Structure 1
Amino acid sequence: MTAAALEGEWERHRPAVFGVAYRLLGGVADAEDVVQEVWLRASSADLSAVRDLRAWLVTVAARISYNVLKSARVRRESYVGPWLPEPLLTGPDAAEPVLVDESVGTAMLIVMEELTPPERVAFVLHDVFDVPFDQIAEVLDRTSAAARKLASRARQRVAEIRERPPVPRAEHDRVLAAFRAATEAGDLDALIKVLHPEAVYIADGGGKALAARKLVRGAARVAALLVGVEKRRVGSVKAIEVNGEPGLVTYGAAGEVLRIDTFEIAGGRVVSVRRQSNPEKLQHIDHT
């Protein structure tokens, strides 16, 4: 394959390479590092015997990500407060083409974070990217049967997320608009009505931004917290698409990104508010 041909094929398959890395690592910066490493390996490798370049690239990305994921588990154990994935802008705000499906949703990534690294790799490669178990076994240094069992265990763990009925975009937008209006107006009663009685608020500040270090549960408590935070806001709020779903980005007075909120909505109410305010996880988001 000529260099020009490889570059053309690379651009076509790059979203899949990034998609594997992001789903496995939950971080945009980490995924971009993996993409760069995969390109370096592809551009210097003899690919004459490779029949399926996409499968080769995806497998290499998974192998690199698996090594990163194993070391990341140690860092996550000492993480300050709740952990949330790094927000991935999708839709019109995306910086580049992104493969979007249920597996890139915030809720799914949170559940996948609870899987072991081998389970996560087996599930993402097989269920999302259709990689055969014999190739997954090579990445994990396991037998094909063992890889199949890992994927099955992971599938059981994420079943609840996959079985949730999809929320129509119109309903999602309506609920989010009501949530935003009540929050910005400081209308506690209206906000409580938008929230599910058992609504949950989870914030990731990573010890680098002011954020609740424990889950806040219950509509009244979540509403009071959100209204209190909103009173201190000095910038603007913009509706965006994050991880395939509607979300909100809040900017500071100088146009800096302060936080990104994603939501779980069911039955016409907000079930959970997930707030990412760790500045290290917001560096890739453009300022206003």
Structure 2
Amino acid sequence: MGDGHGSAGSGQEDPLGAGWQRHRPAVFGVAYRLLGSVADAEDVTQDVWLRAAGADLREVGDLRAWLVTVAARRAYDILRSARVRRESYVGPWLPEPLLTGPDASQPVLVDESVGSAMLLIMEELSPPERVAFVLHDVFGLAFGRIAEVLDVSVPAARQLASRARRRVAGAKESVPQASRAERERVLGVFRAAYEAGDLAGLVRLLHPDAVFVTDGGGNVSAARKPVHGGERIAGVMVRVGRRWRPDRIGMAEVGGEPALVFHREGRVYSVDTVQIADGLITAYRRVLNPDKLVRL
């Protein structure tokens, strides 16, 4: 991306300079957490770079806060219009997979708020609540800045963040997540059963009330509605596995969590993440939409 790796002024003190390289992960990170889209977050990052490169930053005391605020304002505009676009989305919507492991091309600030489960929880928040929560609870911005982004009073910004925090905490309690080691173990066993077409093995790994969500965006064949029930999901997976046999199933870190990456005909075919409780998969999410996989 051409978002400024050089100095804005040769031989002169450049307030942006190394500061951009240091804070770029935060700029991208706030946009991705607000939008759930790598493509949109990259566009926002580019916009922020252009805005920063053309601004007089000598009086800016906190460059990180200034950059994150500009990113949040731009992302907030996109978020409000994205709500309209989301209504016409074909089938279930899942966040665009963000590669965060050692193979990631861009450094990204990683915590639970870039995981698919948390991004889906934040999808249930109103745009102002989501902005207030991400800016305050994840990035530690003062409520004065948040109020400017949302064009509300400081008490209103504080109330939005508090309401969002309660909703997020309630949702997290209802969807407990296993440790990383446990998720990696279960995914490894699942991969072996999937590759073997082992129906009984898959059923044993899936919670009886599990849900299987596929995001094809209308671009590829995918279920338009979630599939419920461990036995039904296992049956669907075995049938799909026979029809679309992958060349390779790899493990990667996506959104800070282990994921399975399916390859077919030299490209990434799907990225799968799971939710696990008591050693069983309670939610299985598969991103198939090629528009969301092209950057992988």
Unaligned runs of 5+ in 2: 1-8
Label 1:130 to 1:162 Cα distance change in 2 as closer, same or farther (>3 A). Answer: farther
Number of the residue aligned with 2:115: 105
Number of the residue aligned with 1:62: 72
Match of 2:85 among 75, 78, 102: 75
Structure 1 residues 155-170: aligned runs within 5 Å:
155-163=165-173, 167-170=178-181
Match of 1:17 among 15, 27, 40: 27
User: Within the alignment, does 1:197 sit opposite 2:198 as a pair?
Assistant: no
Match of 2:235 among 224, 233, 242: 224
Unaligned runs of 5+ in 1: none
CA deviation digits over 1:66-123, x for unaligned, max 9?
0111111110011111000000001112111111111111001011112111111001
Q: Given the two structures, how large is their TM-score scaled by the length of structure 1?
A: 0.95
Match of 1:240 among 252, 258, 270: 252
- The residue type paired with residue 237 of structure 2 is L
- The residue type paired with residue 53 of structure 1 is L
Number of the residue aligned with 1:214: 225
Label 1:161 to 1:21 Cα distance change in 2 as closer, same or farther (>3 A). Answer: same
Number of the residue aligned with 2:104: 94
Number of the residue aligned with 2:6: none
- Kept in 2: contact 1:204–1:275 (CA 8 A): yes
Label 1:13 to 1:171 Cα distance change in 2 as closer, same or farther (>3 A). Answer: same
Alignment coverage as a number of residue pairs: 284
Structure 1 residues 176-187: aligned runs within 5 Å:
176-187=187-198
CA distance in 1, matches of 2:267, 2:182: 30
CA distance in 1, matches of 2:198, 2:176: 30
Number of the residue aligned with 2:4: none
- Kept in 1: contact 2:16–2:57 (CA 8 A): no
Query: SS at 2:28's partner residue?
Result: helix
User: Within the alignment, does 1:31 sit opposite 2:41 as a pair?
Assistant: yes
Number of the residue aligned with 1:249: 261
Number of the residue aligned with 2:3: none
- Kept in 2: contact 1:235–1:251 (CA 8 A): yes
Offset at residue 166 of structure 1 (A): 5.2
CA distance in 1, matches of 2:135, 2:189: 38
Query: SS at 1:91's partner residue?
Result: coil
CA distance in 2, matches of 1:217, 1:166: 19
- The residue type paired with residue 223 of structure 1 is A
Label 1:102 to 1:56 Cα distance change in 2 as closer, same or farther (>3 A). Answer: same
- Kept in 1: contact 2:133–2:165 (CA 8 A): yes
Query: SS at 2:102's partner residue?
Result: helix
